Amino acid sequence: MTSGAAIEDAARSIRAGRLVAFPTETVYGLGADAADDRAVAAVFEAKGRPRFNPLIVHVAGRGEAEALAVFDDRARRLADRFWPGPLTLVLPRAPASPVSWLASAGLDTLALRWPAHPLAEALIRAAGRPLVGPSANRSGRLSPTTAAHAAAELGQSAAMVLDGGPCRFGLESTVVALGDGLPILLRPGALDADAIEAETGPLAEPAPSAGDEPRPSPGMLLRHYAPDSPLRMGAEAARPGEAMLGFGAVDGDLNLSPSADLAEAAANLFAMLRRLDGRGGIAVAPIPERGLGRAINDRLRRAARG
């Protein structure tokens, strides 16, 4: 278990402009002071991340978030219902927000969330500032769900890796934009979109982005969350040279959830893809397009592209 002394060391590293990998309930993040331009730039460099792909800013409370972005009644209702938790809100940037413009890819919106993990919250509070915290991996690759995954991905880029054990959800946060008109589901994730729609009404689909145009949210690149091996979806059996990732009654070398539990499958997705990577190819059993299955299939479709 990570000690209080380790959290204080990590907080000092953040305040000094260094990077720290830390656990959340979704995946491990690569943390830096969100108001420090150089530290934010170091995150992009460590990840090899395109500058048009914005970062999520992590806070420890709605009050901190309201100092950074403009909340309307819908945003307050969603924050009160789902924070701390795996929901990211994309909101208009507050005029006096200190967050680096690089973190938002130059857009006049900010992506904000309050993570539901005691180590993440302790680090934010000890550092005394909001943290950018994209997944602690090289850009486009599988997201890390353990401290060992994060350490292997980052090498010497991070001053520290705080170990909080395996992530509870194993899938990134759901991202919703609130502006004029209907709320927009920018990225399906660990929070079921149906639960959000129960609070907001229907969620709209995002408009497509092209080329190097800034994205309003992370996770919108066509190829993302990808293993090195080619990936094939909707498979009932492996072909020669493929490893099989099963689900429910469709078994394989590994099974995301023998009982067809979508929450269990989401928690196992990235870790099991890592275990099967490098065997030639990966065939993945059909996943139902409902509930968390929508987010799982979103990740698989992006991983399969290219």
Query: For the segment 48-97, what is each residue's pLDDT rounded down to a tens digit?
Result: 988 888 999 999 999 999 999 999 999 999 999 999 999 999 999 999 99
Residue of 120, 101, 111, 49 whose CA lies nearest to 75 = 111
Mean pLDDT of 276-285: 95
Q: Please give the pLDDT value at position 221.
A: 57
Among the listed ranges 79-83, 206-210, 226-230, which one has the minimum average pLDDT value?
Answer: 206-210
**With 80 as the cut, is the pLDDT of residue 252 above it?**
yes
pLDDT at residue 25 greater than cutoff 80: yes
Kindly tell me if the per-residue pLDDT of 211 is higher than 60: no
Please, is 199 exposed, middle or buried when counting C-beta atoms within 10 Å of its C-beta (0-12, 13-18, 19+)?
middle
Point out which residues pair with 57 in neighbouring strands.
112, 132
CATH number of 4-200: 3.90.870.10
Sorting pLDDT into bands at 50, 70 and 90, what band is 207?
A: confident
Residue 140's pLDDT is 84
42's enclosing H/E stretch is: helix 37-47
Q: So where are the chain's domains?
A: 4-200, 231-304
Q: What is the mean pLDDT of residues 20-46?
A: 97
- The string of pLDDT tens digits covering residues 145-172 is 999 999 999 989 999 999 999 999 999 9
**pLDDT over threshold 90, residue 42:** yes
Query: Cα dihedral sign for 155, 297, 256, 247?
Result: negative
Q: Fill in the DSSP letter of residue 155.
A: T
pLDDT-derived band at 225 (thresholds 50, 70, 90) equals confident
User: What is the pLDDT, as a whole number, of residue 306?
Assistant: 56
Q: Which residues contact 143 (CB under 8 A, 6 or more apart)?
A: 27, 28, 135, 137, 172, 225, 270
Q: What is the pLDDT of residue 165?
A: 96
- 174-177/87-92 β-pairing: parallel
